[in-house]
Structure 1
Amino acid sequence: MSGQIYIQDLSMHSDLKLPSASCSPVIDPHVSPDGTMLAYVRDNELHVFNLTRYISKQLTSGANGHMITHGLSEYIAQEEMERKNGYWWSLDSKYIAFTEVDYSGIPPFRIMHQGKSSVGSEAQEDHSYPFAGGPNVKVRLGVVSATGGPITWMDLLCGERGQANNEEYLARVCWMHRNILTAQVMNRSHSNLKILKFDIKTGQRKVILEEVNETWINLHDCFTPLDKVNTRYPGGFIWSSEKTGFRHLYLHNSDGKCVGPITQGEWMVEQVVGVNEASGIVYFTGTLDSPLECHLYGANLFPDADNPLPVPFRLTHGKGKHVVVLDHQMQRFVDIYDSLGSLPKVTMHSLSDGSLIVPLYEQPLSIPRFKKLQLQPPDVIQVESKDGTTLYGALYKPDSARFGPPPYKTMIQVYGGPSVQLVSDSWINTVDMRAQYWRSRGILVWKVSLLIKI
């Protein structure tokens, strides 16, 4: 598509190509919540295209050629923090919050293409790469009207050493109702995280929540603003924290004060997938039934301090890892799931009780390639560490009929960082082709998930 944007009206069966003022590609396009506008980045500047009037407008300026980008996330945000976006539509489609990233303080790093037959610019590329211990990019957060006009800069500057030691990284940005803008900022050692609330007219800020952990704080996407029409906690939000050693959901009021826990226990909440404020239910995925599986659950949104927390109710069926998508009416959900012994399936269910509505897709097992590869699910084992913690491992055993009895040469696969789980009851472990290859060569592979205690 050559970096161009095409818009199709399904009722008219016609295509509309976004007008191009240059040969530069369109990057990261997003339709506004009301469906009338399309925002995108071109030449490091933020633009908006009106889908009803077919007019494009540039909202920012001064970036191109000055080591600055507007509306694009920087390398560390994308690679290490899972923040892919550099701009965000307000809920009413009237404003766009965006990042200004300044790379001028980062020395360029040249990468040579050793296999190129030619020399010169085609055989090399330069990047502003932030090496460990060196300076990071400087990031500002601005807000501009979707129709254009002056930019209001929020009281925030990440990456400025000595000025904001606890605000090295802009980790998350989220709009709340009534056009309240929030941002999550984190220090360089990942031991301090703050949620800031901004007045978009003045840029003034207020800290509404702060978490401190001397070891590590895992980033997540569980911050969920509540609707402004909620009469019990208007302007409140759902937050998740690992302050008990396990990630759980908590209800906070508009000032950031914790009202109480929504979930508890020795298991982990993975992700908030939907909230029905009218019925007072929050839907989330988690590991309540097994640390090797992930299921959809529902829990009471508004905790009752006078009574014990009820156990969340499970809505998905069958073993393995479940990824779900809820409809906007909070009536149904689509479940994409698999396990070590079963290929991915897609089904639709009722959100009220999890009952099956209709199967959507199932991969047949009789695929010639599967038979040729002779894939064998690994054996899941448990190992107790010195402090009594249970660690889970996956063993890919060679065929004893071909390679004889054990012991075998052994390869150990681990991941030493936080928030990554290698071993689970999921098809991805069965189709780990590297592990399966070594197994087919007579080598035992032991994959283990380490526990990073915080």
Structure 2
Amino acid sequence: MKFRSFGLALWLATAGPALVPALLTTTQAQQKQNLTLEDIWQKGTFSAKSVPGFNWMKDGRYYSSLDQGSLVQHDVTTGQAVQTLVAAADLKLPGQDKPLPVDGYNFNADEQQILFSTGTEAIYRRSSKSTFYIYNRQTRQLTPLSKAAGKQLYATFSPDGRRVAFVRDNNLFVTDLATMQETAITTDGAINKIINGGTDWVYEEEFSFAQGFQWSPDSRYVAYYTFDESQVPEYNMQEWGPLYPKDYRYKYPKAGEKNSIVSISAYDVAAGKSTKMDVGAETDQYIPRILWTQTPELLSIQRLNRLQNKLEILHANAKTGQSNVVLTDTDKAYVDITDDVRYLAGGKEFLFTSEKDGYRHLYLYNMSGKLVRQLTKGNWEITEINGFDEKKGLVYFTSTEASPLQRHLYRVDLKGKGKTRLGEAGGGNNTVNMSADTRYFLNYHSEAGQPQVVSLRNGQDGKLVKTLEDNARLRQKLGDYNLGKLEFINFKTAEGVELNASVLKPANFDASKKYPVLMYVYGGPGSQTVKDDAGGGIAFTNYLWHQLLAQNGYIVVSVDNRGTGARGSDFKKSTYANLGKLETDDQAAAARYLATLPYVDKSRIGIWGWSFGGYMTALALTKNADVFKMGISVAPVTNWRYYDTVYTERFLKTPQENPAGYDDNSPVQHADKLKGKLLLVHGTGDDNVHFQNAVAFTDAMIKANKDYQTLYYPNRNHGIYGGNTRLHLYRQMTDFVLKNL
């Protein structure tokens, strides 16, 4: 190969100038590389860089980050490092030669003391336990947070920086940093019975938080959750490896079963006692959020009924526990829980987002819950509140106003005037991390097929201060490969439903040829796979795998069906109480539309997906067996009766109230309709979508005398990763596609 290239170079050197441009173009095309599974899953060839350990410092002028074990301060206006706050060499324990391998940190209020975490172990999706140390910048001393045995969870400074609260063994503690005296706030914690200061499995997974306590702004109180999960049924997973497999039992409330009974208390630090808050007499309910207001001793508690169609905001007195309802938000289907409640300084007003006009928008209320005004309006949605400028009365938020496929930062004042877009011009998606004073924000910008660009921007006008990471090397590296361009289209189904889709064609696409199509689906409520972004983690690596398939002559298409997000409440909630029906109807309709295109081989259309997408794949291959030739179903729910209460009942009600919603679109009920080739994949250690789902579906297919292939991964969780796992999985998936589509 080298010899041939060398000979060509000599020939080009003597060739006429008219020949050189054409030959160079041909040569460059020939030099384009093809992707390999090892590139994607083993070598880290396409790993994007970010800004690790980024934290805004208190004045908004500086930020800090971890750099090779040291904590470094950077100037926001230049992005340059200005000083090392803590050198790695200072993080040594007595008698140790090497510094602590820190994996996280947090400052106290005056930034003179720092909590460092090390040895962090993941528990579930959002929970982890670590060994925490306090570092004093003045004395340069490193002290363990606790002398007691066992790692700690969620260690958090009080706002005044004098104490740290944390959880250990399902109990909540507070340490006085002046004396390092540790006080137990609770003592009744017990595994699989009582949890204090943390959340149970279903809250962590479905309400998206694991830390179950918060300091009051004046540091006088710690508000905390208590979960009594003693009546919640246990799920048992076997951990394979030893001579006799171990049982792992944990509380998992399946649809229609008992949930934890949840209470909220406020611990008075000075008095050393807790007071239970009044959250009502009903115990079969959810408390998805608590939040301290700007008024001393006033705690905001969100209360949600079990069917999740009525959300109430309560204001509770931390000293007495007395509460009253100030705001109620209802919906004919369900109310989504967000973090978009903001209490304004002065204790007179708060911000709240709601879908009550058909799209998620921003509202201003007084503290009695009376509407002051709606601040935003239109056929677009707010996806996040990013910051609030108290002095100027400006709210910063991310929205879909430009397109459902995009996300951009905007601001508006408290009169609903002066709405302005900030940050990156053009398309793409932006994720924003704003300083507390809103003077600056960190912007993560990405577009389809392009790695993210991380930049610092001015909060007043959105102008670029400095690009911190442009991933230029990765961008150049991707340019060396034979990649197709991702296109976005929309089309109408036979029912007249307009759907958005992305289409990835081979780089050498020839419209006169016929191509097989593999559809990639997720399709769950409020989700999106059709977005103008590079994706992160699994999303970007799936994009690269789809490119690998395109190199092998496949067109890869993704369609956002009814039920997905960013297009208003009616579109998203159209699937309510009948999960799976309209979604798979739309995927089948999309396949039929693709079959009409002159360059698509209609006899070779397949589908694949993971989790909800695995469910969609299994259902599509059975209920729409004549449309799809093959499918790969990874970690699917196959019967919603097997999934958790919060997620499933939000969209289907309980199985007691709506049995048909659970059974009519269960792949288990339609196994006898299977015609195409199916690869069913699951991890035996999946704490989220239990392996039980795969077992039930395979059993149904055996009873129906249907052929299928299975691939299971011992002890792997819902993400199916670790070591060579992903490489192995995607090799099997690639082979299955090549052989069967």
Does the CA contact (< 8 Å) of 1:36 and 1:50 recur in 2?
Answer: yes
- Distance in 1 (alpha carbons) for counterparts of 2:379 and 2:207: 26
Cα contact 1:110–1:126 (8 A) shared by 2: yes
Aligned-pair CA distance for 1:369: 6.3
State which of 108, 124, 127 in structure 1 corresponds to 2:234: 108
Mapping 1:200-215, distance limit 5 Å: 200-215=318-333
Q: 1:347 to 1:169 in 2, by over 3 A?
A: same
Q: Please show how residues 49-60 of structure 1 align to structure 2 within 5 Å.
A: 49-60=175-186
Q: Distance in 2 between matches of 1:20 and 1:192?
A: 45
Tell me, which stretches of 5 or more residues in structure 1 are unaligned? Answer: 158-162, 229-233, 304-309
Alignment partners' CA distance in 2, 1:402 and 1:387: 31
Partner of 2:95: none
Q: Indicate if the aligned counterparts of 2:154 and 2:166 stay in contact, CA closer than 8 A.
A: yes
Q: Please state how far the C-alpha of 1:371 moved relative to its aligned partner.
A: 5.8
For each residue in 1:260-309, what CA deviation from the matched residue of structure 2 results, as whole angstroms up to 9, or x when unmatched? Answer: 11111111111111111321211111111221111111101134xxxxxx
Distance in 2, matches of 1:383 and 1:36, equals 59
Provide the C-alpha distance between the structure 2 equivalents of 1:237 and 1:13, rounded to a whole number of angstroms: 41
Aligned to 2:467: 359
Using the TM superposition, give the Cα deviation of residue 84 of structure 1 relative to its aligned residue in structure 2, in angstroms. Answer: 2.4
Q: Distance in 2 between matches of 1:247 and 1:320?
A: 21
Q: 1:26 to 1:290 in 2, by over 3 A?
A: same
| Counterpart residue number, 1:290 | 403
Q: 1:44 to 1:374 in 2, by over 3 A?
A: farther
- Aligned twin of 2:286: 169
Residue pair 1:294, 1:320 contacting (<8 A) in 2 also: yes
Give 1:106 deviation, angstroms: 1.4
Q: Indicate the larger mover: 257-266 or 358-367.
A: 358-367
What is the CA distance between 1:370 and its match in structure 2? 3.9
1:383/1:358 CA distance change after superposition, 3 Å: same
Per the alignment, residue 8 of structure 1 pairs with 135
Correspondence for 1:406: 514
Is 1:394–1:447's contact at 8 Å kept on the other side of the alignment?
Answer: yes
CA distance in structure 2 between the partners assigned to 1:347 and 1:217 by the alignment? 34
Matched, 1:18 2:153: no
Q: 1:76 to 1:36 in 2, by over 3 A?
A: same
Counterpart CA distance in 2 for 1:291 and 1:381 is 13
Q: Structure 1 residue 195 and structure 2 residue 313: aligned?
A: yes
CA, structure 1 residues 242+60, in 2 after alignment: closer, same or farther (shift >3 Å)?
same
Give the drift of 1:390: 3.8
Corresponding residue for residue 445 of structure 1: 556
Instruction: State the Cα RMSD in Å.
Output: 2.5
Distance 1:344 1:268, change over 3 A: same
Which amino acid in structure 2 is aligned with residue 4 of structure 1?
Answer: T
Q: 8 Å contact 2:515–2:554 — kept in the other structure?
A: no
Alpha-carbon offset, residue 250 of structure 1: 0.4
Higher relative contact order (CA 8 A, sep 6+): 2
Query: What's 2:243 paired with?
Result: 118
> Residues 18-417 of structure 1: matches in 2 within 5 Å?
18-22=145-149, 24-64=150-190, 67-113=193-239, 115-119=240-244, 123-147=246-270, 149-156=272-279, 164=282, 168-177=285-294, 178-228=296-346, 234-303=347-416, 310=417, 312-318=419-425, 319-366=427-474, 370=478, 374-385=482-493, 390-400=498-508, 405-417=513-525
CA distance in 2 between partners of 1:47 and 1:202 (Å): 22
Matching of residues 410-429 of structure 1 within 5 Å: 410-417=518-525, 419-428=526-535
Counterpart CA distance in 1 for 2:434 and 2:293 is: 20
- Residue type at the aligned position of 1:117: P
Structure 2: distance between partners of 1:388 and 1:345: 38
Change (3 A) 1:263 1:385: farther
Secondary structure of 1:53's counterpart equals: coil
Q: Which one-letter code corresponds to 1:170 in the other structure?
A: I
Q: Which amino acid aligns with 2:260?
A: V
Give 3-state SS (helix, strand or coil) of 1:76's partner: helix
Return closer, same or farther for 1:403/1:290 CA change in 2, 3 Å cut-off.
Answer: closer
In structure 2, the CA distance between the partners of 1:330 and 1:6, relative to structure 1 (3 Å rule), is same
CA contact (8 A) 2:482 2:507 kept: no
Q: 2:377 is aligned with what amino acid?
A: Q
Cα distance in 2 for residues equivalent to 1:438 and 1:385: 26
Offset, 1:73: 0.9
Tell me the equivalent position of 1:307.
none
Contact 1:57/1:148, CA 8 A, preserved across alignment: no
How has the CA–CA distance of structure 1 residues 411 and 421 changed in structure 2, closer, same or farther, with 3 Å as cutoff? closer
Deviation at 1:201, TM superposition (A): 1.7
Change (3 A) 1:186 1:356: same
Q: Contact (CA 8 Å) 2:444, 2:453: kept in 1 or not? A: yes
Cα distance in 1 for partners of 2:260, 2:217 equals 29
Give the superposition deviation at 1:385.
4.9
Question: Which structure has more strand as a fraction of its residues?
Answer: 1
1:77 aligned counterpart, secondary structure: helix
Partners of 1:366 and 1:83 in 2: CA distance: 33
> SS at 1:155's partner residue?
coil
Inter-CA distance 402–366: structure 2 relative to 1 (3 Å threshold): farther
CA distance in 2, matches of 1:402, 1:52: 73
Q: Is the 8 A contact 1:400 1:406 kept in 2?
A: no
Q: Describe the SS at the equivalent of 1:219.
A: coil
State the 1:171 CA deviation: 0.8
Partner of 2:546: 435
TM-score, normalised by the number of residues in structure 1? 0.88
For 2:581, the equivalent position in structure 1 comes to none
Q: Distance in 1 between matches of 2:152 and 2:480?
A: 43
Residue 400 of structure 1 and its aligned partner are, at CA, apart by: 4.8
**For residue 427 of structure 1, what is the amino acid of its counterpart?**
A
Contact kept, 8 Å, 2:341 with 2:352, in 1: the verdict is yes
Moved more, 366-375 or 125-134: 366-375
- 1:389 positional shift: 5.3
The 2-side partners of 1:102 and 1:262 are apart by 40
Deviation at residue 378 of structure 1 after TM alignment: 2.2
Q: Secondary structure at the match of 1:4?
A: strand
* 1:109–1:126 contact (8 Å) kept in structure 2: yes
1:368 is displaced (CA, Å) by: 8.1
Please give the alpha-carbon distance, in whole angstroms, between the structure 2 residues aligned to 1:245 and 1:128: 36
Deviation at 1:125, TM superposition (A): 0.7
Contact 2:423/2:464 (8 A) holds in 1: no
- Return the offset for 1:443: 3.5
Judge conservation of contact 2:451–2:475 (CA < 8 Å) in 1: no
| Number of residue pairs the alignment of both structures matches | 432
Instruction: Return the offset for 1:227.
Output: 0.8
Match of 2:628 in 1: none
* Aligned-partner Cα distance in 2 for 1:409–1:209: 49
Q: 1:189 touches 1:216 (CA, 8 Å); kept in 2?
A: yes
